Amino acid sequence: MAALPSVTRGRTALVVLQPTPFCNIDCRYCYLPDRSNRARMSSAVVRATFAALIDDGRLAETVEVLWHAGEPTALPISYYREAMAAIASLDAGATTLHHVFQTNATLLDDAWCDFIRDAGIGIGVSIDGPQPIHDAHRQQRNGGGTFEAVMRGIARLKARAIEFYCIAVVTDASADAPDALFDFFEALAPRHVCFVPEQIQGTNVTSSLDAADAKARFTRFLVRYLERIAATGSAQRIREIERMAGRIVKSAKGPVGSQLVEPFEIVTVDHQGRFSTFCPELATSRHPVHGDLALGNVLSGGMAQARNSAKLQALHAEIAAGVALCRDGCAYFDVCGGGAPSLKLAEHGRFDVAETQGCRLLYQAVADAVLQRLAGDVAAVSQITQ
């Protein structure tokens, strides 16, 4: 058996915290279970998480703390004041922590926006585009649309000059509407836009983009979007395009790798203190052999000992076998690094597989769009990454 990649070489650059599983809306494509559970992460769990990360000695120089996986603003502002004070009370050495909320924005009021501004919190707003596209999937629990409430929240952010980025899930309805989405986000003017194709993931066991032509359609979507940016001189920045352009440039020196397949480069902690690694989506997933994918609890045992656990070794071995298959059989490996284990598990029930529908959209279509738009000119691609 080939030696496994080191489980101690990486540094944690992203910590995903689930302050609550509860969400006040009910998106039709959401992958998270238990969205009616109003439990919350205790300040003891918050403090123990960062104490464990500090004790493990592998925090990166800059760490993004992403409050996600539930609607974070469903909890009161006082909760975050206490939680962030608990983190700040610890000595993280030279590490700089940057807090980010991923929110549906429907609960943002003046007090929330003042807190976000004053605390320097980054904000990602989930909005899928114009109202008919957005409301088709991002719905209230009674089935009504959420667009107007989201736009009110965004207006409050803008009134305070708070920068935000947008995450838009691309579905069957929006995949053929790049011009409508371009016009919408051009008017909205976020810092950047993230286009995430609808995925088979968690409780979302089907996708409206699970079709043979989905890759070609998403590629055309992105190419047309780039054409509109170029034609109008727009300042819009597309996260997936920028990241892939950077990967294409770097791949001239060899495969770029992926933090999704390396243990502890990403750490996810649920509201109970159970921690996992690799893809954040694995925190709520189950494996047919390994069961739930938590490696331990921050309230008992920390994280360092989990690096040598039999469970992590088994998970990493299976993930590494899948990466090897990708390396041996996929023309996109150098710019991908082995795909997303969570998508492999969701689509195939295991990690030791190669291509998924998700990776055809998330990696292959994006790479094709960058190279088609720029005609393979790597020098031109590098301009996107500036």
pLDDT, average across residues 348-355: 97
Q: Are 121 and 78 in contact (CB under 8 A)?
A: no
Residue 2 lies in a domain: no
Residue 5 lies in a domain: no
Q: What is the CATH number of the domain that holds 135?
A: 3.20.20.70
**Which residues lie below 8 Å from residue 176, measured CB to CB, with a gap of 6+?**
217, 221
Residue among 204, 341, 364 nearest 266 (CA): 341
Q: Is the pLDDT of residue 8 over 50?
A: no
What's CA 64's distance to the chain center, in Å? Answer: 12
Q: Give 84's pLDDT tier (boundaries 50, 70, 90).
A: very high
Residue 347 has what pLDDT?
Answer: 96
Q: Give 375's pLDDT tier (boundaries 50, 70, 90).
A: low
Residue 340 lies in a domain: yes
Residue 126 lies in a domain: yes
Q: Is the pLDDT of residue 386 over 80?
A: no
Residue 270 lies in a domain: yes
Longest dimension (CA), the chain: 59
Residue 1 lies in a domain: no
Task: Provide the mean pLDDT of the chain.
Answer: 92
Q: Give 302's pLDDT tier (boundaries 50, 70, 90).
A: confident
Residue 23 has what pLDDT?
Answer: 97
Residue 3 has what pLDDT?
Answer: 31
In sequence order, what are the beta bridge partners of 100? 66, 122
Three-state SS string across the chain, please?
Answer: CCCCCCCCCCCEEEEEECCCCCCCECCCCCCCCCCCCCCCCCHHHHHHHHHHHHHHCCEEEEEEEEECCCCHHHCCHHHHHHHHHHHHCCCCCCCEEEEEEEECCCCCCHHHHHHHHHHCCEEEEECCCCHHHHHCCCEECCCCECHHHHHHHHHHHHHCCCCCEEEEEECCCCCCCHHHHHHHHHHHCCCCEEEEECCCECCECCCCCCCCCHHHHHHHHHHHHHHHHHHHCCCCCEHHHHHHHHHHHHHHHCCCCCHHHCCCCEEEECCCCEEEECCHHHHHCEECCCEECCCEECCEECCHHHHHCHHHHHHHHHHHHHHHHHHHHCCCHHHHCCCCHHHHHHHHCCCCCCCCHHHHHHHHHHHHHHHHHCCCCHHHHHHHCC
pLDDT, average across residues 256-264: 94
Higher pLDDT, 302 or 91: 91
Question: What tens digit of pLDDT does each residue of 278-291 get?
Answer: 999 999 999 999 99
CA distances from 271 to 21, 49, 84, 283, 292 (A): 7, 11, 15, 11, 15
Domain count, the chain: 1
pLDDT, average across residues 60-71: 95
Which residue range is the domain that position 365 belongs to?
A: 10-386
For CA atoms 16, 17, 20, 24, give the dihedral sign.
Answer: negative
Q: Give 7's pLDDT tier (boundaries 50, 70, 90).
A: very low
Residue 339 lies in a domain: yes
Q: Is the pLDDT of residue 72 over 90?
A: yes
Higher pLDDT, 377 or 254: 254
CB atoms within 10 A of CB 267: 28
Question: What tens digit of pLDDT does each residue of 169-213 get?
Answer: 999 999 999 999 999 999 999 999 999 999 999 899 999 999 999
What are the b/e assignments for 5-17, b being 16+ CB within 10 Å?
eebeebbbbbbbb
Q: Give 378's pLDDT tier (boundaries 50, 70, 90).
A: low
Question: What tens digit of pLDDT does each residue of 163-180 get?
Answer: 999 999 999 999 999 999
Residue 4 lies in a domain: no
Residue 384 has what pLDDT?
Answer: 52
Q: Is the pLDDT of residue 385 over 80?
A: no
Residue 5 has what pLDDT?
Answer: 36
CA distances from 78 to 14, 82, 84, 249, 341 (A): 24, 6, 10, 44, 36
Residue among 65, 33, 32, 60 nearest 49 (CA): 65
Q: Is the pLDDT of residue 370 over 60?
A: yes
**Which residues lie below 8 Å from residue 312, measured CB to CB, with a gap of 6+?**
7, 263, 277, 295, 306
Residue 4 has what pLDDT?
Answer: 33
Q: Is the pLDDT of residue 1 over 70?
A: no
